[in-house]
A and B are shown apart, each in its own frame.
Chain A
Amino acid sequence: MAKPTTIRISEDLLNEINEMVQELKLDRSAYLREVLRKGFSLDKQDRLLLKYVRKELSQMQVCQELNWPPWEFLTQLKSRNLHLNVELEDWLDAAELPL
């Protein structure tokens, strides 16, 4: 069941939201819930990927937190123009193949 919460937002933003809700004939509460859900999801992704870039999380830890298959991880890095958290030093220090 949905629980109530209270936040303070600027008058300008509130007016903008009200105008849009009226124009599109939306239910304001439902609209705000949807915006919050979408925004939260994106923000969570951004923050976890930032932790990945800082090596605070591994690739699969991010995937688990966001319920992504590992392939989605690469797609999301691309869409944000991010790279793997492997550094030049790691590449230079990598071992040779033992043949």
Chain B
Amino acid sequence: MAWIVADSSALILLAKCSLLEIVCDLFDVIVPKAVSIEVASEDLVKNYPDAALISELTSKGAIKVQSLGSDRPSAPLSLHKGEEEALLLAIKLDGALLATDDGKAIKAARFFNVPFIVTPKIVVELFRLQKISFKKARKSIEKLGKIGRYSPEIIADALISLMEKEDGKANNHKDI
């Protein structure tokens, strides 16, 4: 299974879209210890259902917590501990994909040539790979706009992309 290293922003939005479990089923979702503390500490679990879900998936081993170890590389950039460790872990696990919804973390990922993915793209991709229905994908993208605070232009583009993929599938079926 492919590796996805997620930071707090991506875990939260995937949980909000009810897609975290399916992503954990399909991929090796890995988080550094700092991210686990940021989103699933005891206090947060009591107050936020998403935190409780992340904690539960971590307990089950569906989300793996991994430390950077002693050969931790240094990052010449300023990020919060969790975002920084997620990036460094993605660098360390060669071929891993960094899931983040933070512009500054993406900027850092670009600097280090680390492949990254944002939650709307995960949604569109899950639909392309036929892991979720069109209805579910559309609902998730709409949630990313309303609750996830994604900009209207990204949401519009994601919906267009989704519809294009839906049309592509329909046309393929017609051809058959």
Contacts and interface: CB of A to CB of B under 8 A. Distances in A.
Interface stretch (A4-12, A26-34, A39-47, A74-82): A74-82
Main secondary structure of the interface of B (DSSP, over half): helix
A92 B158 CA distance: 9
A96 to B, nearest CB: 6
Nearest to B158: A91
Contacts of B122: 97
Contact of A60 (B47, B48, B82, B126): B82
Interface string B64-101: 00000000000000111111000000000000010001
B120 A91 contact: yes
B164 interface: no
A55 B148 CA distance: 17
A28 to B, nearest CB: 38
B129 interface: yes
A12 to B, nearest CB: 39
Interface residues of A, number: 32
A84 B148 contact: yes
Interface stretch (B55-63, B102-110, B167-175): B102-110
A69 B122 CA distance: 24
A61 interface: yes
Contacts of B53: none
A58 B83 CA distance: 8
B36 interface: no
B102 A85 contact: yes
A23 interface: no
Nearest to A95: B115
A58 B10 CA distance: 13
A96 B120 CA distance: 11
Given A55-B107, A91-B154, A97-B122, A70 B80 contact: no
B38 interface: yes
18 contacts: A56-B104, A58-B79, A60-B9, A60-B83, A63-B80, A70-B8, A82-B149, A84-B103, A84-B151, A86-B101, A86-B102, A86-B150, A87-B151, A88-B153, A91-B154, A95-B97, A95-B115, A99-B2
Given A55-B103, A84-B148, A97-B117, 8 more contacts: A60-B83, A70-B9, A78-B149, A86-B106, A96-B125, A97-B122, A97-B129, A99-B129
